[in-house]
């Protein structure tokens, strides 16, 4: 049986585009089972002092789900029954430093509804930011009236969260794929085989269209390992965010900061004297102007990685918010016309999000290569009589 390429591509694209819809429908909001009950008006008894009421109307539930989706989590919950409150998933290890080491399972929190005890100290998860705070036995989290933030002691958190699990998964997946690709080159005389053949064109593209043009043929090999790693790492995390797993790693400011900081370190630690000379004493410019331009150029050293961080974070985070909001309209309209329009729009947006996943990985890699190229570029200026 022969399967035509075009129908197969259409089926695959349709499946990928529908994955985010499955992610939304599988969890907290189910219009067929939404009930407004008095028992849902408060958080579990004794959990927080002055805690905010649980959302009871449909719009509030959708808003709460979207907020939960974009936040990190200390457990890996895939589905939840609204009637029983039971979730299907698995707990993750909680690792805290609060004058001493505390290690326990996130199952002790019972999905944030109860207080966990460790070595005589009590901890609870704040529902608004997903962070862990030290509390009393009742799990009271007191908010500062002026700032609105919790005034409880917040321990240093080294926990293995859902985002960390996705990072490990992306790293393991990359290791398996590209180690097999390297082995296939050795076995087949430089010809790729297996799953690695899918990624070989991307590797060649990054080398020929990103690394060499921006860094130069002499020094591009010094940066190829990082450029390939950062491209596929960001790409895989972006794709994970479009699956029913509900992972939002690259929409996390901490993750994008870490990636941008790596680019910042590599750029400045490998830069040559010409790079620093153009920052602090720009050639070909009158000396009085050099004094004025030096602080501006130095500020640009920090602005470049900052723009990398914000660009990736804002695009992925905003994409998740918009997509989840449009999907939520299907539950609000409660009519076949409005729901159909929302489904069609969310379907098109899902396809666009797949493009954005590749585009943001490309932009991050391309700008990193551009910064590396400017750091190692050789300049031959003759100042003459300036």
User: Residue 62's closest CA among 372, 337, 368, 321?
Assistant: 321
151 and 89 housed in the same domain: yes
266 and 288 housed in the same domain: yes
pLDDT for 302: 93
In a domain, 73, yes or no: yes
Residue with tokens 């790729």: 192
C-alpha triplet 70, 71, 75: angle, nearest 5° = 120
* 161 three-state secondary structure: coil
* 237 three-state secondary structure: helix
In a domain, 322, yes or no: yes
74 and 9 housed in the same domain: yes
Instruction: Give the integer Cα–Cα distance in Å for 179 and 284.
Output: 48
Beta bridge partners of 135: 122
174 and 144 housed in the same domain: no
For 7, the token pair is 């129908």
In a domain, 381, yes or no: no
Q: How many structural domains does the chain have?
A: 2
233 and 368 housed in the same domain: yes
**DSSP code at position 210:** I
Asked whether the CA dihedral 61, 65, 67, 68 is positive or negative, the reply is positive
The set of residues, in sequence order, having a beta carbon less than 8 Å from that of 207 and lying 6+ positions away, is 220, 224
Helix (H) or strand (E) holding 104, with range, is strand 101-105
In a domain, 222, yes or no: yes
In a domain, 229, yes or no: yes
In a domain, 35, yes or no: yes
Query: Of 132, 159, 186, which residue sits at a domain end?
Result: 159
In a domain, 384, yes or no: no
Contact by Cβ (8 Å): 293, 285:
yes
**DSSP code at position 150:** B
Q: Per-residue confidence of the chain (386 residues) as pLDDT tens digits?
A: 333 444 445 444 454 444 444 433 333 334 333 333 333 333 334 444 444 445 567 777 777 777 767 778 888 876 665 555 566 778 889 999 998 999 998 888 887 788 889 988 999 988 777 889 999 888 888 888 877 788 888 999 899 988 999 999 999 999 999 988 888 888 887 788 778 788 989 999 999 999 999 999 999 999 999 999 999 999 999 999 888 777 888 988 999 999 999 999 999 999 888 888 888 887 777 778 888 888 888 898 999 999 999 999 999 988 888 888 888 887 787 777 777 888 888 888 888 889 999 999 999 999 999 999 998 887 654 444 44
Q: Which domain holds residue 290?
A: 163-376
Rg (CA), the chain: 25
Ramachandran angles phi, psi of 73, nearest 5°: -140, 150
pLDDT for 21: 41
10 and 148 housed in the same domain: yes
Contact by Cβ (8 Å): 141, 124:
yes
Residue 193 buriedness (CB in 10 A; 0-12 / 13-18 / 19+): middle
Flag whether the pTM goes above 0.85. Answer: no
In a domain, 99, yes or no: yes
C-alpha triplet 127, 129, 134: angle, nearest 5° = 75
21 and 37 housed in the same domain: yes
**DSSP code at position 78:** E
367 and 297 housed in the same domain: yes
């Amino acid at each position: 049986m022969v399967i035509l390429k075009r129908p197969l591509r259409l089926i695959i694209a349709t499946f990928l585009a529908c994955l985010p819809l499955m992610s939304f429908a599988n969890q907290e909001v189910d219009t067929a089972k939404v009930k407004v009950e008095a028992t849902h008006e408060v958080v579990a008894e004794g959990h927080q002092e002055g805690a905010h009421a649980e959302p009871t109307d449909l719009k509030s539930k959708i808003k709460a789900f979207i907020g939960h989706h974009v936040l990190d989590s200390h457990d890996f919950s895939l589905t939840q029954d609204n009637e029983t409150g039971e979730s299907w998933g698995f707990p993750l290890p909680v690792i805290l430093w609060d004058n001493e080491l505390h290690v326990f399972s996130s199952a002790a929190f019972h999905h944030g509804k109860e207080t966990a005890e460790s070595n005589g100290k009590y901890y609870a998860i704040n529902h608004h930011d997903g962070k862990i705070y030290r509390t009393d036995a009742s799990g009271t989290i007191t908010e500062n009236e002026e700032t609105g933030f919790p005034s409880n002691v917040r321990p240093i958190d080294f926990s293995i969260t859902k985002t960390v699990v996705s990072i490990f998964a992306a790293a393991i997946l990359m290791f398996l794929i590209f180690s097999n690709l390297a082995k296939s080159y050795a076995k087949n005389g430089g010809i790729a085989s297996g799953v690695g053949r899918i990624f070989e064109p991307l590797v060649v593209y990054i080398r020929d269209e990103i690394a060499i043009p921006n860094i130069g043929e002499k020094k591009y090999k010094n940066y190829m390992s990082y450029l390939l790693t950062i491209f596929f790492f960001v790409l895989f995390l972006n794709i994970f965010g479009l699956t029913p797993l509900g992972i939002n790693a690259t929409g996390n400011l901490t993750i994008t900061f870490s990636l941008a900081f790596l680019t910042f370190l590599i750029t400045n630690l490998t830069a040559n004297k010409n790079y620093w000379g153009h920052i602090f004493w720009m050639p070909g410019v009158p000396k009085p102007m050099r004094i004025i331009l030096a602080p501006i150029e130095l500020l640009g050293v920090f602005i470049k990685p900052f723009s990398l961080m914000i660009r990736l974070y804002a695009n992925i985070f905003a994409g998740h918010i918009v997509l989840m909001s449009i999907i939520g309209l299907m539950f609000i309209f409660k009519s076949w016309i409005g729901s159909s329009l929302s489904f069609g729009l969310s379907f098109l947006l899902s396809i666009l999000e797949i493009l954005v996943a590749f585009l943001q990985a490309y932009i991050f890699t391309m700008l990193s290569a551009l910064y590396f190229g400017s750091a190692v570029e050789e300049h031959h200026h003759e100042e003459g009589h300036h």
